[in-house]
Amino acid sequence: MARIHELVDDYLAYLEVERNRSIKTRDNYGRYLAVFVELTGIKKPEDITAEAVRKFRLELARRKGARGELMKKITQSYYVIALRNFLKYLAKRDVAALSPEKIELPKIARRQIETLEYAEMERLLAVSKGEDLRSLRDKAILETLFSTGLRVSELCSLDRYMDIDRGEFTVRGKGEKLRVAFLGEGTKVALKRYLAKRSDADAAMFVSLGPKNKVLGRIIPRAVERLVDRSARKAGIMKKIHPHELRHSFATDLLLNGADLRSVQELLGHANISTTQIYTHLTNKELREVHRSFHGRRRK
């Protein structure tokens, strides 16, 4: 009988090769499962029992970070999901172990997401007014984030040689899934002006800039995060803004203007529509107007 470490290694290779998961996903699953094996002390798959899983979950719930804070429920769920998927793999291979159906996922409160009001978004997009390369780049980055709903990692991986006039391009998202993204007219203009200012031959669409706007190579996500936060403060937006807030605003803007949920799912690159549904409650602000207009009109 294969020992647990061998089976975990086989599973991680299966994720990468057969399921086409990213290296990051493989590494995360490897880390979660290593913690499970370490905390439970299991040696072989039949050691994975309901009692072992119960003790593991209790240990996660009591685990504290470097500053004494308890592990968040959402983080605990990552470990449990990894374990359950590993058990599904073992069942597929007819390896005797606990049935994955025996594991219930923790109940997570609906995630609260922040979006920008449309007026705030307009101020943010208008904040970079200069004609130098850095200002033009910053403007193009902000316009592209809102126009496409790209994740910051996807934005950083874009190459400059695309047909901007066509207004659409293919992006490789999570799990190596391909989807189409679209450029608005304002974004096309911003990209063209930025690229016209570039005199380098770097293949990256968005680059890091050093002193005197010297091109240093492809921009990294942390630099985009700093750019968005800095631009938000310049635009008079007091709350902390992350590039993902522009993705949230992209989704809610589509829904508020009548887009159906399935289309928004495709545009965001969500594997499951349940992920997209977190945005629907944000669009219910229209219900306030319905209530105000039509409720209790017969009352004196």
Give the C-alpha separation, 195 to 197, whole Å. 5
244 is catalytic: yes
Token pair listed for 165: 């006039």
Position of tokens 């590993």? 86
101-111 as b/e: b if 16+ CB within 10 A: eebeeeeeeee
270 is catalytic: yes
Burial of 98 (0-12, 13-18, 19+ CB in 10 A): buried
Please choose, from the candidates 93, 96, 95, 98, the residue with its C-alpha nearest in 3D space to the C-alpha of residue 36: 98
Amino acid at 216: L
Token pair listed for 31: 């880390």
Catalytic option among 44, 134, 174, 188: 174
Give the C-alpha separation, 220 to 222, whole Å. 6
Catalytic option among 26, 139, 151, 248: 151
Give the C-alpha separation, 185 to 187, whole Å. 5
Position of tokens 């750019």? 227
279 is catalytic: yes
Give the C-alpha separation, 154 to 158, whole Å. 7
**133 SS3 class:** helix
- Going along the chain, which residue ranges are E strands? 168-172, 178-182, 207-209, 215-218
Catalytically active residues are 151, 174, 244, 247, 270, 279
